Amino acid sequence: MVFCIRIVAVQYYAFWYQLDSEQRYLLWVTDLDSDAKDFVVLNAQNRIISFNDLRTLNQHASRNEITITEQRNPTLHNLDFVSRWVFDPLPETVDCVEMLNAWNMFLDVWQSAKKHRDGFRAIAEPNRPIYDKLFAGNNIPACTPKGQHYVPTWDADEIDALLDVMSAGLHMVRKNLDHTADAEQSVGHGAADDAVQNG
């Protein structure tokens, strides 16, 4: 007897974030068949749809025949922490978890956005070593030798680079968010079509 396992290439998730003291949600997509892989859903005006609560997001998904994959322990992407750090960028207050979460969010927004995105890419790409250092500072068990715990230290140049990346990412997010989402909007997948090619 042969059993066939169906792999769902496209999955949708509620993406939880906080900005300007307000917790909201994006509709985040992972697509194994897309060059972009991970991106967020756009509206008809090519802006990122931001939902004020899960009920509104789920209504939107239902009207667009989208199934949301449930998450047991969703991660809050706290952009308010990043915003505060940008105003007072001290090496001792770098939080590797918050900064890495924000950087990953910025990358997914960059994959999706049609406008106001080139500045982030130009700043982020040369600073990949900073990303790698943040990743190491997360001490993910599968990537960290047993019994070891890495606490990175940051010099002035690295802090300047991290400040540039976080500032550019926040600017890109703010320019692309649409807070006027309603359940009648149709879904645009953004990155699945041409975000990467036009970058």
Q: Residue 78 and residue 96: Cα distance in Å, rounded?
A: 12
Question: Is the whole-model pTM more than 0.75?
Answer: yes
Nearest to 128 by CA among 167, 152, 153, 158: 158
Residue ranges of domains in the chain: 10-192
| Cα separations in angstroms, 142 against 3, 28, 130, 146, 152 | 31, 25, 20, 9, 18
3-state helix, strand, coil in the chain (%, to 5): 45, 15, 40
pLDDT for res 185 = 47
pLDDT for res 179 = 83
Q: Which two tokens stand for residue 44?
A: 């008809």
- φ/ψ of 192, rounded to 5, equals -60, -25
Q: Show the low-confidence residues of the chain (pLDDT under 70).
A: 1-8, 32-36, 181-199
pLDDT for res 38 = 85
pLDDT for res 148 = 82
pLDDT for res 118 = 79
Cβ atoms within 10 A of the Cβ of 41, count? 27
Q: Which two tokens stand for residue 107?
A: 């990358």
pLDDT digits (tens, 9 = 90+) for 81-118: 999 999 999 999 999 999 999 999 999 999 888 777 87
Beta strands in 37-128 (DSSP E): 38-40, 48-51, 77-78
